Amino acid sequence: MLKRIAPLCVFGLMKRFLLLMALIFGFASLATGIYDLAGPAARSGLLHTGGEVWFALSADTLNLMQAVTQRYLWPALWDPGIVSVLKFPAVATLGGLTALFASLWSLAARR
């Protein structure tokens, strides 16, 4: 009996995790959209990029993430990998992550 219940508990936690991530990225996308509309003008054009938003919120953690990624993981992962994602508009990046987690949650909820 316990063997049947354990996978269901883990699956329930997975569904909750996917929903939580979708909500977090959804609110973050909404916040960056409001920042684009009401905040200062973007340097890169109409919308703020992910790198601009991250730098405005915490420049130290951006530099730390770059150093850790290049030194301990793989230098090519940072440039061109993460740098190209940071150059996208923040609303599009966070909205895409919201859509990804919401669709995964929807698939898990059907099961």
pLDDT tens per residue across span 20-78: 999 999 999 999 998 888 877 766 678 889 999 999 889 999 999 999 999 999 999 99
Which tokens in the block code for residue 7? Answer: 């996978």
pLDDT of residue 28: 95
pLDDT bracket for residue 2 (50, 70, 90): very low
Backbone angles phi, psi at 46, to 5 degrees: -75, -40
- Give the global pTM: 0.80
Distance CA 13, CA 16 (A): 5
Is residue 18 within 8 A of residue 103, CB to CB? The reply is no
Distance CA 81, CA 18 (A): 24
Instruction: Decide: residue 82, CB within 10 A, 0-12 exposed, 13-18 middle, 19+ buried.
Output: middle
| Sign of the torsion angle spanned by Cα atoms 24, 28, 29, 31 | positive
Backbone angles phi, psi at 48, to 5 degrees: -75, 140
